[in-house]
Structures are given as C-alpha cells and as structure tokens.
Amino acid sequence: MFDTCGNLVNIQKADYKDVSAKYWVTEAKETNFMVVYNDNTFCPEEKLTRAEAVKVLNRLFQRGPLSGVDKPTLKDVPTRNWAFEEIEEAARDINTKLIKMEKN
C-alpha cells in the first residue's frame, strides 16, 4: 500500500458523484483546516510545504497557533515567518515544554 517514500500506491481514485470537488474546497476554506493563501486561493493540486503541513496537523489535533513566543525554537524558522506561531505550537508538547529535537 505504501512505497519506500511513504506515498500511497495502487490506490484507486475516489469518485464521489454526489459531492463535488468545489464542496471540499469550500469546506477546507471555511473551516480553516487547509491553508488558504492571502489572495483567497486554495491549491489542492500543489504539494504542501512543511509550514502548511504543520498548520494542517495543528488543526487536526486542535492545537495552536501559539502566541507570545519571541525566540524561535528552530533556527530555520524566524519570527517573521507566516507559520512561526504554528511551528512553535507543533514544537512543544501539550504542557508547552519544548520537544527535544534530535539531530540525525
């Protein structure tokens, strides 16, 4: 079911004749579950960036964004990054302690 990269393989495309793609795009935008760009566009055919994926996972786990942090946990995510508060939330456990990031 998964290839070596963790991608789904040999899965048939779902065909929902009773629910249009527009419905799902609207649902994603209205619930703020998926990232919607500042120009009010939604790009379901594009690959998610790391920051976008973090925002989606935070919504899935009903977390964040975390405000009031002025020092970045991760060196490659400056405070001016649009997803800074989302990434800070994901980098901390429920009790807002820093999650230890192991170097590979």
Read off the pLDDT band of 63 (50, 70, 90): confident
pLDDT reading at 15 higher than 90: no
* 28, 21 contact by CB (below 8 A): no
List 8's β-bridge partners, or say none.
Answer: 2
List the domain boundaries for the chain: 18-46, 48-104
20-46 average pLDDT score: 73
Distance CA 92, CA 72 (A): 12
pLDDT reading at 104 higher than 70: no
Q: Give the least confident one: 39-48, 54-63, 87-96.
A: 39-48
Burial (0-12, 13-18, 19+ Cβ within 10 Å), 40? exposed
pLDDT reading at 42 higher than 70: no
